[in-house]
Structure formats: C-alpha cells, structure tokens
C-alpha cells in the first residue's frame, strides 16, 4: 500500500493521534473529537497534505480505531495508519517504523495541533533540508514563570528571556530520530528531548499561534474561533 501524498514531497510526517484526551474531558479519543464539524485529525492531516514538502503521512491511531481512521482519512489524503501505543513516545516509535525507506527527513506532528498551517511545516522541513538535524518551532513565553514548592510556596522567579514554548511539527534527519528513539530509556514529552539526550544540537524556528495544542476545553473553543476567522 502506498503512503505517498505527492510525488515531489521528500518529507514523511508522523502524526501521533492515539491519545485519550483526558484533559479535554469525556468525549472519546481527542484526535476524533469534532472542531467545526470535523475531527481534529482530519483538520491536521488536511493541512499537512497541503504542504508541498510532504510526501508521506503515517498516523498512529487509537488501537481499536485503526480501520475507522483509515476510512475517515481516505477522502482527505493518502495515509498509512498504524496502531498507537500507551504513550506518545510509543505511538511515534510505531509510526516511525512504518515510514518507507526512501524518506530521509521525518517530521513528528501532534494531531492535537489541528490548525497548524502548512507554512510552518514547510519552515521546519526547509531547516532540516538546509542542514539542521533536529528542528523545533518555538514561541516566546508570555507569562512570568515562577518555581513553586510542593507546599505552594514560591521558590524563585525564573528568568524567562531564554525560555520558549515548544510546538510541533518537529523535524529530524531520519537517522537522528531513529537513534533517539532506539536510545531512549525514559519517557520524554517531545522527540527533540530524546535528540538532546543523545547529544544532538536542536535548532529552533519561529512557531505559529495557529499551532496551539488543543489540550483543555478552552483550547477547543479558541480553536473554533480561529477556524471561523
């Protein structure tokens, strides 16, 4: 079965979409929750497929939803669908194992960042193509950040000038992502964290407000407003 979205794209994108969405509240797996009448996963995959660099999309779906996700995405873009794992990291690893051999650049993109514009995908892909083995989109931190003890007492005010909020898609030379996953002995919240652990330099590019991660109920309402704009 071919997973190619277009003949010109040299980039494979892994889409972890197997999370439960516990912070969003009841309503089933988050990637299948509706935004403007369509599942988050459909929004995410449609935007990925619009990025000219993308030649292959591999989705890690809820374990009991592989065939329904295949049916859901068939009219949107050609995709490979694999069963996800118990953690995001496991879901990414399963999807990575399914990437066809010819793709040397691999991006990892949360289904939960459903409104991420194709332009950000292109920016990350271009930075990897340009020679950076690991690339992440980031935004400045806008709140004052404090370190707080378990008992709720402020320990310190953190200098935020060097802090960044990290988004996806995160882009890698395939060999780097494979090595990072093969070497990981503990759980990481993002793939760049695993690359850091094996000594890779991680490059940043400017992120996008549209790439917000839909995590809590208010995020879904904000995304609905953004979608209507």
Ligand X SMILES: C[C@](O)(CO)[C@H](O)COP(=O)(O)O
Ligand Y SMILES: Nc1ccn([C@@H]2O[C@H](COP(=O)(O)OP(=O)(O)OP(=O)(O)O)[C@@H](O)[C@H]2O)c(=O)n1
Residue ranges in contact with ligand X by CB under 6 A: 88, 110, 166-168, 189-190, 213
- What is the per-residue binding string for ligand Y in 98-117, x denoting contact by CB under 6 A? ------------xxx-----
Distance between CA atoms of residues 143 and 229, nearest Å = 26
Distance between CA atoms of residues 17 and 69, nearest Å = 10
For residue 215, the 8-state DSSP code is -
What is the length of the chain? 229
Q: Count CA atoms closer than 13 A to 25's CA, side-chain side.
A: 5
158 makes contact with ligand Y (CB under 6 A): no
Q: Which of 1, 7, 64, 86 binds ligand Y (CB under 6 A)?
A: 86
Are the C-beta atoms of residues 31 and 81 closer than 8 Å to each other?
A: no
| CA 119 to chain centroid | 15
Query: Using CB distances below 5 to 8 A depending on partner kind, what does residue 31 bind out of ligand Y, ligand X, none?
Result: ligand Y
Instruction: Indicate the residue among 75 and 164 with the shorter CB distance to ligand X.
Output: 164
Whose CB is nearest to ligand Y? Answer: 19
Residue 213 CB, nearest approach to ligand Y (Å): 5
Are the C-beta atoms of residues 31 and 112 closer than 8 Å to each other?
A: yes
Query: Using CB distances below 5 to 8 A depending on partner kind, what does residue 168 bind out of ligand X, ligand Y, none?
Result: ligand X
* Residues lying near ligand Y in the complex (CB under 6 A): 16-23, 30-31, 60, 84-88, 91, 110-112, 213, 215
């Amino acid at each position: 079965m071919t997973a190619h979205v277009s003949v010109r794209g040299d980039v494979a994108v892994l889409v972890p979409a197997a999370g439960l969405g516990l912070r969003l509240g009841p309503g089933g797996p988050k990637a299948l929750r509706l935004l403007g009448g369509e599942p988050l996963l459909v929004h995410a995959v449609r935007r990925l497929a619009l990025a000219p660099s993308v030649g292959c999309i591999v989705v890690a779906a809820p374990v009991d939803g592989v065939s329904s996700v295949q049916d859901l995405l068939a009219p949107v873009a050609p995709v490979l669908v694999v069963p996800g794992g118990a953690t995001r990291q496991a879901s990414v690893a399963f999807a990575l194992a399914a990437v066809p051999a010819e793709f040397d650049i691999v991006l990892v993109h949360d289904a939960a960042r459903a409104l991420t514009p194709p332009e950000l995908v292109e920016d990350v892909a271009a930075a990897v193509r340009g020679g950076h083995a690991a690339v992440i989109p980031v935004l400045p931190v806008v709140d004052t950040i404090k370190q707080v003890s378990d008992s709720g007492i402020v320990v310190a005010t953190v200098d935020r000038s060097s802090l960044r909020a990290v988004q996806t898609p995160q882009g890698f030379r395939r060999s780097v992502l494979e090595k990072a996953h093969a070497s990981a002995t503990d759980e990481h919240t993002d793939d760049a964290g695993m690359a850091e652990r094996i000594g890779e330099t991680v490059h940043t590019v400017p992120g996008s407000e549209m790439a917000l991660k839909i995590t809590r109920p208010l995020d879904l309402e904000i995304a609905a407003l953004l979608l209507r704009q």
